[in-house]
Structure 1
Amino acid sequence: MKKHQWMATLLSLICTGLGMFYIGTPGMIIGGMLLMALQGAALFIFFMTLGYLGLIIGPLAIGIHIIGLIIPVLYFSYRSPRKPMFDEKRRRQLSSPWKIVVRTIIGLALFAGSIYAGYTWGSAPFMKTAAEKREVQEAAESYLEQKYNEPFKVTDVDYTWAIGSYNLTAHPEKAPELEFTLSSNDASPPAISNDTYLNQLWGQQLRDRLKPLLDELYPDQAFGEAYVFAGSDTVERDYSRLANNADGDVSQNVRLIVFADLTADNLAQEKERVLELIRRLPSVTVPGETDLTIDYYAADLKTPESVKKVEQDIDDMKGKTSTYSFRVFDISDITSADDIEIRGLE
C-alpha cells in the first residue's frame, strides 16, 4: 500500500507525531514517541507551575507540534539519486494496510496517553479526589445541621491549592433558593468556618421588608437585594430582633436596580426621590450602618424576562450597561439632596 504525503501531513496536524507513526519506519516511530513524550512533559510542567510558565511552555508545545509536522514533509521530499533501491525500500517498508492502521491506532493511543498523563500527574498536587471532597461535604452538612438544627445540602466544593482551603456553596433543604458560602481547611477531619447562612437569611428578610417602600417610591421600577452583617456569634434567625443580639454591631448593604430613563431634566427630581428613600430606610432596617447602592438602567431593558432574572438574582444585569449610579457607604452622611451625587456612566 502506497503511503501518501498528504495523509501523513493531515495526521501530523491532528496529533503531534501521528504522521510519523503512519510512515512507520522504526526511526519515525521512535521519533514520534519522543515528540509525544516531550509534549506530555511540557503539559506536566505547565500544571506543576500553575500555568506561570505558560509563556515558555506554550511556544514550546507549539514548536514540538511543528517539528512533528515538518519531519513527514521532509521524509517524502527527500530523494537519493545514488540509492534508488533505498527509496524503494523506504516506500514499501511496513506499508501493508493493516500495519498502517495498527500503527496509526497506536500513535493515537500514545498521544492521548501523553496528554492524559501530563494533565493528571501535573494537576494532581493541586486537586483533591472525589473521596476527599465528599468528606468535606459531609463534614460541612453535619456542621450546619448541628449549628442551626435543620438539614442543609452542600452543592459545590472547590479546592484552592494556593491557600490550602475549600470554598463551598450550600443551601437549606427547605429553601434551595437561599444559597450561601462557607469554608473549610484541608485537615482531617475538616474544620468548617465562615458560613454566611445568617447573613443571607437576614438579607432576604430585609429585602422583604424593603419591598413595600420600593413599590411606593419606585412603582414597578425598582428591584432590590440586601446583605446583613452582625458582629455577634448568636444564632438569631429573626432579622427584626438582630439589634438586641448583636452588641449593636450591625451593618446592612442595600443594593437596588432601577429601570428609569434619567436625563438632565429629571435628575434633580430623582435626587429628591433618593433622599426620601434614605430618610425612610431606617424604618425598615435595624439600628446600625446602612450602605446603599443604586444602579440605573434604561427603561426599555425592563422586560418580563429581565424582571424574572433580576428577582431571582440581581447580578443577572451584569451583562447590561447601566446609565447612572449612586453609592453611599453610610446613609447617615446624607442630610440633603445636595449630598447626593448620581453619576452618569455613558
Structure 2
Amino acid sequence: MAAAGRFIAGDWGSSFMRLYLCETGAPARILETASGLGIKFCDNPEAAFFDVAGAWIDRDGPLPVVLAGMVGSNIGWVDCPYAPCPAGLDDLAARMTRFEVRGVPVAIVPGLSCTNIFGLPDVMRGEEAQVFGWLAQAGAGGRRTLCLPGTHAKWCSVTDARVTRFFTSMTGEMFEILVAHSLVGRDMTPGTAIEAGDPAFVRGVEIAVSDPRLAVEHAIFSARSLRVTGSLSPQAARPYLSGLLIGCEIRDALAALAAAGEPVDHVTLIGAPALSLLYAAVLDRLGVVHAMADVHAASLAGLAALAGHTQPVSA
C-alpha cells in the first residue's frame, strides 16, 4: 500500500530526468529529489524510471506518478497526443495518458498544440505544467501574456486561466549553435554567465531594439563584423550576441502580438532566474512592465494540481 499523501512528480525532458518525491498540501512539499538520463538517452524508459525512483517505491509503496516533458513524445515512454488549445487545467488532465506498470499508477501530461498567431502549427511539452502551475498559484484571471525563456522559448496568450495559443522562439538553440558551430562564434572567449548589466549585452540589446528594420539574420553577422573591424573584443562577443538575439526575439514577439490584436503591457517571465533577468532587462528597455516567477515552483505546482486527477488505471 502506498504511503498516504505522497506522490512522485517529474519533469522528464530530452536531456535530463528530474524527479521529486512530494507530499500533498497547499503548496505541495518536496521531500526528496533525484535525477537521471534524459529520454533521448533511454532505450528502456521503464527501467530508467525505476532505476531512479525505485528506492522510493520500495520504501513507500506504489506511489502515484505524474510526469511531463518529452517522456510523452514519440521518442518517450509512451506517445501522448497533444491537448489542443484553447485549453485549461481540466482539459489537460482529461487527456493525460494513464497506465499501470509494476503496480505503479503513472499519468503523463500530454503537452499542448495550437495554431499560432502566424497561422502555423506549434507545440510544447513540459512548459504547460509550468504555465498551469503559475496560474494555479497566481489565481490569474483576465488576459495575460506569459514568456517562458529557454532553449525553445514560448510566448503564451492566456485568457481566464486557459491557454488560447502560443508561439515558439528558438533563441536559446540559435545562440548555442552560433557559438559552437558558426563563423560568428569563432574566437569567442569561452562562456561564463552573462549578466544583464554587462555593457556588451546592453550594446547588443540596444542595436536590436533601436531599429525595427534590423532583422535577426542581418543583426547576427555584426558579431563577426565588429570583431573583424576591432570594435568588439573576444570577451564581449558572446554577451553581445546574446543581447542581439534576445533583443530581436522580444522586439519581434511584442510587435507580432500587437499586430495580431493582442497588445502587451505586462509580461510574466517563467524561467531560470539568470535567463529571466536577461529578458527582464530587454523588457525594461522597451518600457514593458514584467514580473518573474520561479520555474521550479511553477512546474511543481502544475504537476501537483495534475496529480490530484491521477487515478490508478490498469494497462
TM-score by length of 1: 0.26
Which structure has greater helix proportion?
A: 1
Q: Bigger relative contact order, structure 1 or 2, given CA contacts below 8 A and separation 6+?
A: 2
TM-score by length of 2: 0.28
Which structure has greater strand proportion?
A: 2
